[in-house]
């Protein structure tokens, strides 16, 4: 998704991500955030299984202190 700053890309991506993700069938979602727009991702509900998988592959979960199980 591309566009000029302040046009709602971040809000749209958050909405689409949450609306389309179902834990049982969802693929992984990776967001490359070059401008630090996604600073509150730890508030998005996730599962303990997701956290363990991230840790297994060495992905940082230190910011997920508010991880919420679905």
Domain boundaries of the chain, sorted by first residue: 1-70
Termini Cα distance of the chain: 27
- Position 40 pLDDT exceeds 80: no
Instruction: Write the pLDDT tens digit of every residue in 51-69.
Output: 787 778 777 666 544 444 4
| Mean predicted lDDT score pLDDT of the chain | 67
**Residue 64 in tokens:** 């997920």
pTM confidence score = 0.34
């Amino acid at each position: 998704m591309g566009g000029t700053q302040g046009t709602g890309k971040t809000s749209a991506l958050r909405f689409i991500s949450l609306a389309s993700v179902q834990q049982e069938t969802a693929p992984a979602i990776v967001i490359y955030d070059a401008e630090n727009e996604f600073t509150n991702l730890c508030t998005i509900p996730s599962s303990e299984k997701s956290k363990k998988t991230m840790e297994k592959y060495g992905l940082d979960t230190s910011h997920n202190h508010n991880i919420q199980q679905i």
